Amino acid sequence: MKPETDSEADPIFDTTYDMVVVSNRLPVDYVGGDGADTRWKVSPGGLVTALEPVMRANEGAWVGWAGVADREFDPFEHDGISIVPVPLSEDELEEYYEGFSNDTLWPLYHDVIAPPSFHREWWDAYVRVNRRFAETAARVAAPGAVVWVQDYQLQLVPRMLRESRPDLVIGFFNHIPFPAYGIYSQLPWRRQVIDGLLGADVIGFQRAADAGNFSRAVRRLFGYKTRGTVLEVPGADGEMRHVVARHFPISIDAAAFEELARTPEVQQRAREIRRSLGDPEVVMLGVDRLDYTKGIRHRMKAFGELLRDERLSVQQATLVQVASPSRERVETYRQLRDEIELMVGRLNGDHAALGHPAITYLHHGYPRQEMAALYLAADVMLVTALRDGMNLVAKEYVASRYDDDGVLLLSEFTGASDELRQAVLVNPHDIEGLKDAMVEAVNMPPRERARRMRALRRRVIENDVANWSATFLETLTGVGKIPGGVSDALRGAVSRLAQTPRLLVALDFDGTLAPLVDRPEDARATDRARAAIERMSEHEDTRVALVSGRALDSLKEVASPPSPRC
Ligand X SMILES: O=P(O)(O)OC[C@H]1O[C@H](O[C@H]2O[C@H](CO)[C@@H](O)[C@H](O)[C@H]2O)[C@H](O)[C@@H](O)[C@@H]1O
Ligand Y SMILES: O=c1ccn([C@@H]2O[C@H](COP(=O)(O)OP(=O)(O)O)[C@@H](O)[C@H]2O)c(=O)[nH]1
Site residues for ligand X per CB under 6 A:
24-25, 44-47, 50, 151, 175-176, 250, 326-327, 388-392
Q: DSSP assignment, residue 353?
A: B
Rg of the Cα atoms in the chain: 25
Amino acid at residue number 517: V
Asked if residue 429 binds ligand Y (CB under 6 A), the reply is no
Is residue 289 a contact residue for ligand Y (CB under 6 A)?
yes
What is the number of alpha carbons within 13 Å of residue 123 lying toward its C-beta?
11
Does 46 help bind ligand Y (rule: CB under 6 A)? Answer: yes
d(CA 129, CA 120): 14
Residue 204's binding partner out of ligand X, ligand Y, none, with CB under 5 to 8 Å set by partner kind? none
User: Rounded to the nearest whole angstrom, what is the least distance from the CB of residue 317 to ligand Y in the complex?
Assistant: 22
- Per CB under 6 A, contacts with ligand Y among 192-251 are none
- Alpha-carbon span 405 to 450, nearest angstrom: 5
Tell me whether residue 41 or residue 565 sits nearer to ligand Y (CB atom). Answer: 41
Q: Measured between alpha carbons, how far is 396 from 372 in angstroms, rounded to an integer?
A: 8
Please give the single-letter amino acid code of residue 376.
L
Q: Which one of 52, 379, 396, 464 is in contact with ligand Y (CB under 6 A)?
A: 396
Query: Of these partners, ligand Y, ligand X, none, which one is at the site of residue 250 (CB under 5 to 8 Å by kind)?
Result: ligand X
Q: Show contacts with ligand Y in window 307-326 (CB under 6 A).
A: 322, 324
25 binds, among ligand X, ligand Y, none (CB under 5 to 8 A by kind): ligand X
Other beta carbons within 10 angstroms of residue 277's beta carbon come to 17
Q: Which does 368 bind (CB under 5 to 8 A by kind): ligand X, ligand Y, none?
A: ligand Y
Q: Which stretch binds ligand Y (CB under 6 A): 12-20, 40-48, 308-316, 446-454?
A: 40-48
Q: Does 45 bind ligand Y (CB under 6 A)?
A: yes
Partners of 320 in beta bridges: 285, 360
Cβ proximity to ligand X, 228 vs 249, nearer residue = 249
Distance from first CA to last CA of the chain, Å, rounded? 34
For residue 246, the minimal CB distance to ligand Y (Å) is 20
Which residue's Cβ lies closest to ligand Y? Answer: 46
Q: What is the residue-wise DSSP string for 116-170?
A: ----HHHHHHHHHHHHHHHHHHHHHEEEEEEEEEESGGGTTHHHHHHHH-TTSEE
Q: Which does 327 bind (CB under 5 to 8 A by kind): ligand Y, ligand X, none?
A: ligand X
Whether residue 214 contacts residue 247, with contact meaning beta carbons closer than 8 Å, is answered with: no
Residue 543 burial by Cβ neighbours in a 10 Å radius (0-12, 13-18, 19+): middle
Residue 371 interacting with ligand Y (CB under 6 A): yes
> Do the Cβ atoms of 65 and 25 come closer than 8 Å?
yes
Residue 393, binding choice from ligand X, ligand Y, none, Cβ under 5 to 8 Å by partner class: ligand Y
Write down the least CB distance from residue 176 to ligand X, Å.
5
Give exposure, 360-383, as e/b (b: 16+ Cβ within 10 Å): bbeeebeeeebbbbbbbbbbbbbb
61 binds, among ligand X, ligand Y, none (CB under 5 to 8 A by kind): none
Residue 322 interacting entry, from ligand X, ligand Y, none, C-beta within 5 to 8 Å by type:
ligand Y
Segment interacting with ligand Y, rule: CB under 6 A, options 56-64, 77-85, 365-373, 403-411: 365-373
Beta carbon of residue 398, minimum distance to ligand Y (angstroms, whole number): 12
Stretch that binds ligand Y, among 60-68, 105-113, 181-189, 364-372 (CB under 6 A): 364-372
Helix axes 296-308, 331-351, angle to 10 degrees: 10
CA distance linking residue 514 with residue 545, whole number of Å: 15
| Binding flag, residue 369, ligand Y (CB under 6 A) | no
| Residue ranges binding ligand Y (CB under 6 A) | 45-47, 49, 287, 289, 322, 324, 365-366, 368, 371, 390-393, 396
